[in-house]
Structure 1
Amino acid sequence: MSTYNERMKRVEISVHDIFRARHHIEHFVDRTPLAPSVPLSNLIGAQVRFKFENYQRTGSFKPRGAINKMRMLSEEERKRGVIAASAGNHGLAVAYAAGLIGASAQVVVPENTPKTKVAGIQRLGAELVFHGTNYDEAEECAYRLAAENGRTFIHAYEDQHAIAGHGTIGLEILLDWPEADVIVVPAGGGGLILGIAILAKSVHPDIRIIGVQSHASPPWYYSFRAGRIVDVTYRESLAEGLHGGIGQKIFPLVLRYVDDFILVEEEEIADAMCWMARQHHQKVEGSGAVGVAALRNGRIPDIAGKNVVCLISGGNVDDERLAELLEAQEERKPSRYEKGLRSSC
């Protein structure tokens, strides 16, 4: 079971770990497309390609890390089962991976987790526990339950095996497009962007790795600039999958490998989700659309003429939410959800 000391151990990941992860997971995840976006390329004067992890099994990039982590469990750990805290996508991945190895899974999610993610976790056979209003509260509950029932805690972003699994995205990108100059990555806890950055910087030291967060959940943006983890104010966001704290154990590595973090507004995220639906016929959740929002609104400097990869990290958005955003944009008025966001600010 997890202890405080185990939680504070520093994480170390090598390129070799990422290649091993690819070997471990290649039969259980899909190599997702890297496809050009002509309209976005024309808009910003750069060559833009989307890495479509919304095509991944369970609808997001998360199985890459969860499967790699669970392949490392001992037989005894598998018998005791696993537990995870999640804003939704990690829970889906843990439930999927647990099924592959024959382990039982318990997933703690915030009470406001999107219905499509809740339904998916249940469909994959995991036991759901609802607790709190954000990821951090769900995580504390999951750690308590792990101590009580002996399950192995599967961390969403502060685990070297999970991060190495996510790093396989960077490997696929550079195998498909070695000329990439910039990779734009949604940033939540930090495991995804760190895995990609370690692989990409090791192969191509001059490549720029840019993380994107929302103003509603900006811990990396401010902590990166301060050079230390700082407290920030959190608000409700369309990008709920990026909501919550950042990894203390991985913080020094992120400072070493990532070039910058930028912020986008809620209205820009909503617009990007609608734009992806209309221009590319893609169902993209708010967390997966923040990179599109950043590029469409000129948030990333020195991008003209560059080869840019924009990671679409997931597509698990409730149909009703996306339909309402599309309708509201069509009518040029804020949706009920956006009104709620504004009134809470």
Structure 2
Amino acid sequence: MENGNGSRGIAAKVVPDMTEVLRAWRSLQGKVHTTPFEHSPFLSDRSGAEVFVKWENLQRCRSFKIRGALNRMMNLTASERAAGVVTASSGNHAQGVATAARMLGVQALIYVPETCPEVKQEAIRRIGGDFVTLRRFGRLYDDTEAEALRVCREEERIFVSAYEDRYVVAGQGTVGVEMFLAEPDLEDIVCPLSGGGLLGGITVAAGALAPKARLWGAHAAANPSWAEAFRAGKVVPVEELDSLADALGGAASKHLFPFLRERLAGLDAVSEREIGEAIAFVHRTHHQVIEGGAATSVAALLSGRLPLEGRKVGVVVSGGNIDEGRLLRLLCPGA
């Protein structure tokens, strides 16, 4: 049964086809925002490309994650809804699950790492209300997910994966649908990369709507899971350090890796300094608040390491959930 139930094993098929992405796009109409996809003169001038930014920091819950979480939970059966769901998240996916739980009347047990920013924890509790129980476990996301899966098996609930679920990936693919509907002749997309659900979904959309477009994954250098997987030809254990890109914690998806390895033009590892500078750059030039994970795509563009000059490029800014104190320190480092 391909439903992401932790007690029955993760679904073998996690990559949706374009029909599933379009079905998700139709189902989510009126339930999530069609976020702006705007030309950026500032990023265009800095990169030498024609750059458009997809502002998912303006999405419900201030993150793209609501798309996949809601699509997954709208596809639960009546018995699955009655059993309730369990999920693990660095914070943004949890807010999406919390929103869906309240909207659909489903009880959700949500695990987050101990490092999850307080702003995200407060949002999860506020959004979910009585439909959510929040638990903190583990310093790194992989430890958090392992505990959530253990409890899921014990309580025989449905596990709503942040990325290894075809309904979730299809929901994230609606970001790509919106981008190509607005700018059909995009030549490149630069997107944050962690588990791979967002870039996986966008890649499905690109394959159908713009098969010649190149896709680039931007990740924090502090989490080299994807880079090491590309070198080894499979997902291997890596040492992960704390990062401003807290939303990008955890290992690359073993199920999405083969799909993305064949389709990505390349990866770019961005440093903590570059992430912080990208957050400040976007705030200064666009007056937008973005989080560290979202800033990796902007940082990759600003670095000049990707061959994008003279091309039409879409940059995905995936979320805007950042602690106020951290944001102020990045904006006013000498204060």
TM-score higher than 0.5: yes
| 1:230 CA drift (Å) | 2.2
Q: Which amino acid aligns with 2:215?
A: I
The residue number in structure 2 matching 1:180 is: 186
Distance (Å, rounded) in 2 between the aligned partners of 1:60 and 1:70 = 17
Distance (Å, rounded) in 2 between the aligned partners of 1:32 and 1:217 = 28
Q: Which amino acid aligns with 1:143?
A: L
Helix, strand or coil at the partner of 1:123: helix
Distance (Å, rounded) in 2 between the aligned partners of 1:179 and 1:218 = 31
Asked whether the 8 Å contact 1:186–1:290 carries over to 2, the reply is yes
Q: Which amino acid aligns with 2:200?
A: L
2:312 to 307, 312, 331: 307
Distance (Å, rounded) in 2 between the aligned partners of 1:322 and 1:162 = 29
Query: Which consecutive residues of structure 1, in runs of 5 or more, have no partner in the other structure?
Result: 332-345
Q: How does 1:122-137 map to 2 (within 5 A)?
A: 122-124=125-127, 125=129, 126-137=132-143
2:204 to 182, 198, 208: 198
Q: Provide the alpha-carbon RMSD of the alignment.
A: 1.3
| 2:247 counterpart of 1:241 | yes
Instruction: Pick closer, same or farther for the CA change 1:114–1:63 going to 2, 3 Å.
Output: same
| 1:8 CA drift (Å) | 5.8
| 2:149 counterpart of 1:143 | yes
Asked whether the 8 Å contact 1:8–1:249 carries over to 2, the reply is no
Q: Which amino acid aligns with 1:118?
A: Q
Helix, strand or coil at the partner of 2:261: helix
1:34 to 33, 37, 40: 37
Distance (Å, rounded) in 2 between the aligned partners of 1:259 and 1:68 = 28
Asked whether the 8 Å contact 1:15–1:202 carries over to 2, the reply is yes
Q: Which amino acid aligns with 1:162?
A: V
The residue number in structure 2 matching 1:336 is: none
What's the TM-score once normalised by structure 1's chain length? 0.93
2:23 to 20, 23, 26: 20
Asked whether the 8 Å contact 1:224–1:260 carries over to 2, the reply is no
Q: Which amino acid aligns with 2:29?
A: E
1:108 to 101, 107, 111: 111
Distance (Å, rounded) in 2 between the aligned partners of 1:4 and 1:67 = 21
Q: How does 1:1-345 map to 2 (within 5 A)?
A: 2-3=5-6, 6-7=9-10, 9-124=12-127, 125=129, 126-300=132-306, 302-328=307-333
1:66-96 Cα distance to aligned partner (Å, 9 max, x none)? 1111111011111111110000000000000
**Identical-pair percentage:** 39
What's the TM-score once normalised by structure 2's chain length? 0.95
Distance (Å, rounded) in 2 between the aligned partners of 1:271 and 1:15 = 36
Distance (Å, rounded) in 1 between the aligned partners of 2:231 and 2:207 = 20
Q: Which amino acid aligns with 1:303?
A: L
Distance (Å, rounded) in 1 between the aligned partners of 2:330 and 2:45 = 25
Asked whether the 8 Å contact 1:201–1:257 carries over to 2, the reply is no
Q: Which amino acid aligns with 1:15?
A: M
Q: How many residues align?
A: 329
Asked whether the 8 Å contact 1:10–1:250 carries over to 2, the reply is no
Helix, strand or coil at the partner of 1:257: coil
| 1:11 CA drift (Å) | 2.2
| 1:3 CA drift (Å) | 4.6
Runs of 4+ aligned residues of structure 1 deviating over 3 Å after TM superposition are 1-5
